[in-house]
Amino acid sequence: MESLVDTAGPLGLLLLALVDSTSMGTLVIPVILLVVGEGGALRVAGRTLLYLVVIAVFYLILGVALLAGLLPLMETFGHLLAAPPVTVLLAALGVALVIWSFRLDPKSIVKRGGDPEASARKWTERARRASGRPATLVGLALLAGVIEAASMIPYLAAMGIIADMGIGLGVGSLVLVGYCAVMIVPGIVLSGVRAALGARGDAVLERVHSWSVKSAAGAFSWTVGIVGAIIALNTLGPALELLTGGQIF
C-alpha cells in the first residue's frame, strides 16, 4: 500500500475532496436552498452557510471516529495489506468498482427503465420544505449526511489514505478538517454569489441547479469509477505479476 500513499497521498486526498464537493449533500442541496430560499439575499446565503457548516462538522466527527477505529487496525494488520492474496483482492475490487461505475451511469440506468434524477427531485422537495427554518436546515444537513454515509466511497477511500500515511490521529484529524473544508468550498462560493448579487444571481444559480440535478447520478458514477481506478492502478500491476510469476513483465 506504500505505492498507493505515495501516488495518491495529498493529491489523491484533494481529488477525493473535490469529488465529494459535488455530491448531493454538499452541492445539490445547497444550490436548491439558494434558489428556493425566501427572504433577503443575505438571509438565504446565511441559512445555506449554516447548512454547509453542519454537514461539514458531521462529516468531520464521523471521519475522526472512523480514523480512531482504523488506526489501531492498521497498526495491527497493516502489514497484511502487502500480502499477495490481499493485493490480488484489492486489484479485483478496483476493477469491480470501475465496471460498476458504468452500470451507475445515468444512460445505463435509463436503458434499464430507471429514473436517475428521482433522488435529486426528492431532495429538492425536502430542501424546499426546510429552507425557511434554521432548525429544520440543521435536521436536513444531518439527514443528508446520514443517508450519504451509506455511499461515501470517496470519504472511505480518503480515510484509508490518511490511516496509511502513519501520521496519527491528531495530525490526521487536522487533515480531515482541511478535507471537509474543501468539500463545502463550492457551496460557500455560490452562497457568496447569492449574497453579493441578490436577485441578479438567480439566473446563474438556476443554471447551476439544473446542471447539478441532472449531474447528480453521473457524479456518483464518476466517483465510483475514480476510486476504483486509483485502487486498480496501484495494485493491478503487482497482482498480475504475482498471478503470472512475473512472466508478463
What is the tens place of the pLDDT at every residue in 60-85? Answer: 999 999 888 877 776 666 566 667 77
pLDDT at 246: 57
Q: Minimal CA–CA distance to 148: which of 48, 46, 26, 51?
A: 26
- Please state the rounded mean pLDDT for residues 23-44: 83
Q: For residues 29 and 129, what is the distance between their CA atoms, to the nearest angstrom?
A: 12
What is this structure's pTM?
A: 0.77
Checking if the pLDDT of 129 tops 60, the result is yes
Tell me the CA distances in angstroms from 122 to 32, 41, 95, 190, 213, one per residue in order.
Answer: 11, 25, 32, 22, 11
Q: Minimal CA–CA distance to 208: which of 31, 10, 19, 18?
A: 31
- Contact at 8 Å (CB) between 54 and 137? yes
User: Between residues 21 and 74, which one has the greater pLDDT?
Assistant: 21
Give the chain's end-to-end CA distance (angstroms, integer). Answer: 20
For 44-63, b/e burial (b = at least 16 CB within 10 A) is: bbbbbbbbbebbbebbbebb
pLDDT band at residue 183, thresholds of 50, 70 and 90?
Answer: very high
Average pLDDT, rounded, for the chain: 80
Helices (H), the chain: 2-8, 10-20, 29-36, 41-77, 84-104, 106-111, 118-130, 134-149, 153-165, 168-197, 202-244
Q: Minimal CA–CA distance to 137: which of 63, 42, 49?
A: 49
User: Between residues 17 and 204, which one has the greater pLDDT?
Assistant: 17
